[in-house]
A and B are shown apart, each in its own frame.
Chain A
Amino acid sequence: MAAWRDFWRRYRRKTSAMIGLVLLCFVMLVALVGPWLVSADPWDIVVSPFLWPGVDPEFPLGSDTLGRDILSGIVHGSRVSLLIGLAATAAALGVGVTVGAVAGYFRGWPDDLLMRITELFQTIPTFLLAVVLVAIFKPSMLTIILVISAVSWPAVARLVRAEFLSLREREFVQSCVVIGMSEARIIFQQILPNCLAPIIVMSSILVASAILTESGLSFLGLGDPNLMSWGTMIGIGREAMRTAWYMSALPGVAIVITVLALNLVGEGLNDALNPRLKNR
């Protein structure tokens, strides 16, 4: 409890971190309860097309080229973006932490092998790989999540490996070895909890970049065809950009706010969890 209060005191000190937190809470609230407050289905044609924002109070953000409610699209899109961001990050953490822990704890040939594979994945252009994989394996929520995690685990693996390499030399780990603790317990109960701080910081950045990747994919037409996502909306609005630029502009603002919030929270967490570096 005291540790939490201490952490909160340090987090709260930074204005930008608090702004990020407020924005993020807002986006999460929209994703949680928003879909009940707007048109049930963002694909429904509810009003005449090309309605500018602020003209009809019933559709405050206007309508797109077919007359679909843009506010409804943005609200439903927040759910898609956050869900894909969180799921892809969880999967990337699962793979990355396992690979990094094994490589950093056992060193030797497992380390060599796993790091070669990690470097390989870091050499291949990330977004290009994501595009090719989604295009070949047919776009769906699941493939998008799997593909984004497939391109984002290497960064986690390198981070966890570096932490494990330094932590496993520490005295508390040596004493665990001496009392005959099993390797699995040393890895998961002793070392892993000690490198949680950098993993948590990295997670918020990973969610942010997953949301950016997803928006890029769905802008190219590689989104789940059943889901209205922000990237899809920008792609739809692009057709009418010369006359009705708000159609692309509004979902883009939603992306910027969400990603900015996640980055600010990530920085705030970094400062609060690593008090030694606070003067940077």
Chain B
Amino acid sequence: MGSAAQRTDGSRLVRFLARRSAQAALTLLAIVMLNFLIVHLAPGDAIDVLAGEFGGADTAYLEKLRRSYGLDQPLYIQLFQYLFNVAQLNLGFSFRNNMPVFELIMTRLPATLLLMVASMLLSFSAGLLLGVFSARRVNTFADDAVSVLALLCYATPLFWFGLMAIVLFTVKLNLLPGNGMYTIGANLGWFAAALDVARHMVLPACSLALFHMAVYTRLMRASMLEIFGLDYIRTARAKGLSQRRIAFRHVLPNAILPMVTMLGLQVGSLLGGAVLVETVFGWPGLGRLAFDAILQRDHNLLIGILLLGSALVVIANLLTDLLYAWLDPRIEVA
């Protein structure tokens, strides 16, 4: 490996990054425009919502308000205004919470990210283990049992699983907390506080992880089985390597690649699931905020959450691409 080769390799990665970032920016722009479309297709405009907030107002005053907010302008001007605002991270104002939407979202984001990362790690590792377990015992009773488990996880609504988990672990067994993120009023040191949050996170993270654990299990099993049939595995067998060594050193590293692709795709569905799980467990994150916004008919806030959620998915996809390119040198990055 000469330094020239390394340099070209580096510049290829930079070009790859630049192209993917440009694509991501375009996707974001399109999503913002789609959001604008949704807001404009909605029955009634922002002023109607405001009027509803104040319990009605006379039409002349509403017209004046419309003019002052630029809502009497042609649609394309309004679109530019909207794009301009979003570019400055101005997502409007939540009158219900008396706070700018962007600030409100940012205060709730960390709790959701924590929950998402935990359930991602959980579903990925549990799916990996179950998939490998089942692929090494293909067509046995154990393999069938894992398949049935995965099918049940596919069919279970995660909010219902969460409710049942609360009934069992919180109400009946009194083992784990089933509401909130920390014990209210407890004055704990940093370690005890972290442990407290972790205990509160067990049930919601498991509920959120359930579906994707099944996805990863089936993906990993199929992927392992496919690679077991390849020529280089036959070579490894012919060399007399043990089954265990073949499975873990030769098959596993290659079988993981399709799972990495799934990671980026999972983020979007985790955000949707977070709305349900956070509502069930009273977890103070974005999902719970979205539920409150539904109850309060706070459309500004809902649209803002959708926009930021989409941005999160775009970023996650970008990261997955990079991770993939780093893990698999065969991927053409140029």
From B53-61, B238-246, B294-302, give the one contacting chain A.
B294-302
Q: Is residue B14 contacting chain A, with contact meaning CB distance below 8 A?
A: no
- Within 8 Å by CB of B294, from A216, A222, A242, A264, lies A222
- Chain A residues contacting B171 (CB-CB under 8 Å) are 241-242, 245
Task: Give CA–CA (A255, B154) in the complex, Å.
Answer: 11
Q: How far is the CB of A256 from chain B (nearest CB, A)?
A: 5
- Complex CA gap A116/B151 in Å reads 32
Asked whether any CB of chain A lies closer than 8 Å to the CB of B305, the reply is yes
B152, B280, B302, B313: the one within 8 Å of A125 (CB):
B313
Q: A127-B269, A127-B272, A131-B290 are in contact. List 14 more A-B contacts (CB 8 A).
A: A120-B34, A125-B310, A128-B271, A128-B275, A132-B306, A135-B297, A136-B302, A216-B157, A241-B167, A245-B163, A255-B155, A259-B154, A259-B155, A264-B151
> Which of B160, B305, B314 sits near A128, CB closer than 8 Å?
B305
Interface magnitude class on chain B: 35 or more
State whether A126 touches B31 (Cβ < 8 A). Answer: no
- Among residues of B, the one whose C-beta sits closest to the C-beta of A248 is B163
- Cβ-defined contact, A137 with B152, below 8 A: no
Q: Report yes or no: B294 in contact with A125, Cβ–Cβ below 8 A.
A: no
Contact of B272 with A125 in the complex, beta carbons under 8 Å: yes
- Cα of A201 to Cα of B132 in the assembled complex, Å: 26
**B156 sits at the interface (CB 8 A):** yes
Tell me which residues across on chain B come within 8 A of A264, comparing CB atoms: 151
The chain B residue sitting closest to A219, CB to CB, is B159
**Chain B: minimal CB distance from A265 (Å):** 12
Q: Is the CB of B154 within 8 A of A133?
A: no
* A interface with B by C-beta (< 8 Å): 116, 119-120, 122-133, 135-138, 208, 212, 215-216, 219-222, 231, 234, 238, 241-242, 245, 248-249, 252, 255-257, 259-260, 263-264, 280
Set A125, A216, A249: member contacting B164, Cβ < 8 A: A249
Chain B facing A: main interface SS: helix
Structural contact, A255 and B43, CB atoms closer than 8 A: no
Bound-complex Cα distance A214 to B243 (A): 46
A137 CB contacts on chain B under 8 angstroms: 41-43
**Contact, CB under 8 Å: B317 / A123:** yes
> Quick check: A256 and B155 within 8 Å, CB to CB?
yes
CB-CB < 8 A to A248: which residues of B? 160, 163-164
Residues in chain B within 8 A of chain A (CB atoms): 27, 30-31, 34, 38-39, 41-43, 151-152, 154-157, 159-160, 163-164, 166-167, 171, 222, 225, 267-269, 271-273, 275-276, 279-280, 290-291, 293-295, 297, 299, 302-303, 305-306, 309-310, 313-314, 317
Residues of chain B within 8 A of A260, CB atoms compared: 151-152, 154-155
B221 vs chain A, min Cβ distance (A): 10
In whole angstroms, what is the CA distance A116 to B271 when docked? Answer: 22
Chain B residues within 8 Å of A130, by CB = 272
Are B160 and A124 closer than 8 Å at their CB atoms?
A: no
11 contacts between A and B (CB under 8 A): A123-B310, A125-B269, A131-B302, A136-B42, A137-B42, A234-B163, A241-B171, A255-B157, A259-B154, A260-B151, A263-B151
Given A120-B27, A132-B306: A280 in contact with B222 (beta carbons within 8 A): yes
Which A residues are CB-close (under 8 A) to B302?
A: 131-132, 135-136
Q: Is the CB of B166 within 8 A of A241?
A: yes
Q: Please provide the 5 A-B residue pairs with the shortest distance between their CB atoms, ordered closest to farther.
A: A127-B272, A252-B160, A260-B155, A259-B155, A125-B268
Residue of A nearest to B293 (CB): A135
What's the nearest-Cβ distance from chain B to residue A95, in Å? 16
Q: Which of A133, A219, A242 contacts B276 (CB 8 A)?
A: A219
B163 touches A128 (CB 8 A): no
Contact, CB under 8 Å: B155 / A234: no
A216 to B277, CA, bound (A): 10
- Judge whether B164 and A128 touch: CB under 8 Å: no
A80 to B34, CA, bound (A): 30
CB of A280 within 8 A of CB of B225, answer yes
Q: Which residue of B lies closest to A246 (CB)?
A: B167
Distance A132 CA – B313 CA, assembled complex (angstroms): 17
Do B159 and A216 touch (CB < 8 A)?
yes
Q: In chain B, what residue has the closest Cβ to A249?
A: B164
Q: Are B167 and A127 in contact, with the CB atoms below 8 A?
A: no
With A123-B313, A126-B269, A238-B163 as contacts: A136 and B299 at CB distance below 8 Å: yes
**Residues from chain A with Cβ under 8 Å of B268 in the complex:** 122-126, 128
**Chain A residues closer than 8 Å to B294, beta-carbon distance:** 131, 135, 220-222
Of all chain A residues, the one with the shortest Cβ separation from B229 is A279
Chain B residues, Cβ within 8 Å of A129: 306
Question: Closest CB of chain B to A2's CB: distance in Å?
Answer: 30
* A252 neighbours in B (Cβ, 8 Å): 156-157, 160, 163-164
Which residues on the A side are within 8 Å of B280 (C-beta)? 238
